[in-house]
Structure 1
Amino acid sequence: MGMRQPRHWACGVYRRPLLALLAALLLLPTAGSAAPGGGTVLSPPKSLTGIDLIDQHGARLTAGTLAGQWTVLFFGFTQCPDVCPTTLARLAGVQRRLPEGIRPKVRFMLVSVDPMRDTPERLAEYVGRFGQDFVGATAPLGQLAPLLRELGVSYAYTVPPAGEHAAHAGHDMPAYTVTHSETLYVLDPQARLYAVFTDPKDDYALLRGLSAWAGGP
């Protein structure tokens, strides 16, 4: 089964060519099978060398610290007006519906592609709305970029028209918005890229996949 092209949402309007993203996806391992109910499982899983993040408590996150649990990554930003809160609410629903014995084996993480504004404190307040166990993470762009390239995450900064500045920023915030891909990335307990879900609205597919993988031997 071939890798589906990641879908893109504009928290703003997205018109950037997709050639760079498609090229990045071609570097991923050959997809081996469909995930239970949807998504794509990579065979073999892809090792990631660019995980170097800071969580909402200021702690460093690496492949080593993520090991031991399944991790669902979503890339967005806290000032996203629609896609991010909708997706995180869906992920919170998936978390609640996981079998009780599996729930501790899975973490859900928002990785901000807006580190200029999304401080650890801001991320803590934001992800806390969706669940006490949700993780918010980011890093300076130079530190974040290797992971974005490895996963093929697409993002761009857009300055809105002058009349729309107030809707996108407070008095002390830069006036811009961020366009980004909506894909969900599932890491296995070795912090390798294991599966990709290009449609975050198919939360039942994600629920079935996580239940099967985390519930296995």
Structure 2
Amino acid sequence: MRMCLPRHWALGLYRHGLAASLLAVLLPLAVAATEPGAATVVTPPRPLAGLDLIDHRDRPLNTTSLSGKWTVMFFGFTHCPDVCPTTLARLAGIQRQLPAAARDRVRFVLVSVDPMRDTSQRLAEYVGQFGQDFVGATAPLGQLGPLLRELGVSYAYTAQADDEHAAHASHGAPAYTVAHSDHLYVLDPQARFYAVFTRPDDYQVLRALSTWAGESGAGQ
């Protein structure tokens, strides 16, 4: 599991989930991931009781607002120096390559696990760099936690050493870093947990989304 370790820090130490959490989600599921990088499909799709977010325009992001399209969720944060911008750039490339029939039926959402720093304005500026249709979302940790547990999202806040904290103190930055996985979580047009890519491969993601969104469109 790749973990993002940013250069910007903040206060405190918090740990949640990690690999055991994801295993608890995946073990009971029917698996359809026969190729490296392919999706593990949830059978049947799982409703998400904890889906209660706010998007970068300060609008509710929940089962109602996400219904009607396939949703690809990536959990990260805007101060991430490597995994997050790389993954979002890859998703932007996948979006451009989707067949026209499927492109309008797929949305991409960055869910921040760093709500203390990632305000709606910050999220809007950040996701706008990758595509006008990209969505940024988050919620206070107490509100975000149930969704993270349902999906088995792995992340951790880790306090930094005093010398690292001092280096950023003049900028008013708190002293913690967020480590997180690079998994992609897919919700179906009923906003149910449909699949997860634990080792995302661009070709596999593109092929799966093209198939799923194309099939759902053909049935409309």
Q: 1:60 to 1:170 in 2, by over 3 A?
A: farther
Aligned to 2:208: 209
Partners of 2:120 and 2:28 lie apart in 1 by: 33
Give CA-to-partner distance per residue, 1:47-99, whole Å, 9 cap, x none.
11100000000001111110000000000000011100010010000001001
Query: Is this contact kept in 2: 1:154–1:180, CA < 8 A?
Result: yes
Question: Structure 1 stretches of 5 or more lacking a match?
Answer: 1-6
Q: Alpha-carbon deviation of 1:180?
A: 1.0
SS, match of residue 102 in structure 1: helix
Q: Alpha-carbon deviation of 1:169?
A: 7.6
Q: 1:138 to 1:110 in 2, by over 3 A?
A: same
AA matched with 1:184: L
Aligned to 1:3: none
Q: 1:39 to 1:169 in 2, by over 3 A?
A: farther
Is 1:54 aligned with 2:48?
no
AA matched with 2:103: R
Is 1:34 aligned with 2:33?
yes
Aligned to 1:191: 191
Q: Alpha-carbon deviation of 1:31?
A: 2.0
Aligned to 2:12: none
Partners of 1:85 and 1:148 lie apart in 2 by: 21
Query: Is this contact kept in 1: 2:4–2:80, CA < 8 A?
Result: no
Q: 1:19 to 1:55 in 2, by over 3 A?
A: closer
Query: Is this contact kept in 1: 2:112–2:137, CA < 8 A?
Result: yes
Larger relative contact order (C-alpha < 8 A, sep ≥ 6)?
Answer: 2
Aligned to 1:9: 3
Q: Alpha-carbon deviation of 1:23?
A: 5.3
Q: 1:84 to 1:122 in 2, by over 3 A?
A: same
Query: Is this contact kept in 2: 1:51–1:147, CA < 8 A?
Result: yes
TM-score (norm: length of structure 2): 0.86
Q: Alpha-carbon deviation of 1:8?
A: 3.9
Aligned to 2:178: 178
Question: Structure 2 stretches of 5 or more lacking a match?
Answer: 7-14
Partners of 1:35 and 1:194 lie apart in 2 by: 16
Aligned to 1:85: 85
Q: How do 1:25-174 residues align onto structure 2 when only pairs under 5 Å count?
A: 25-26=25-26, 29-34=28-33, 38-165=38-165, 171-174=171-174
Q: 1:169 to 1:112 in 2, by over 3 A?
A: farther
Give CA-to-partner distance per residue, 1:106-137, whole Å, 9 cap, x none.
00000000000000000000000000000000
AA matched with 2:146: P
Q: How many residues align?
A: 207
Q: Alpha-carbon deviation of 1:149?
A: 0.4
Partners of 1:17 and 1:109 lie apart in 2 by: 21
SS, match of residue 199 in structure 2: coil
Q: 1:169 to 1:122 in 2, by over 3 A?
A: farther
- Percent sequence identity is 67
Query: Is this contact kept in 1: 2:55–2:137, CA < 8 A?
Result: yes
Partners of 1:20 and 1:199 lie apart in 2 by: 17
Partners of 2:32 and 2:111 lie apart in 1 by: 26
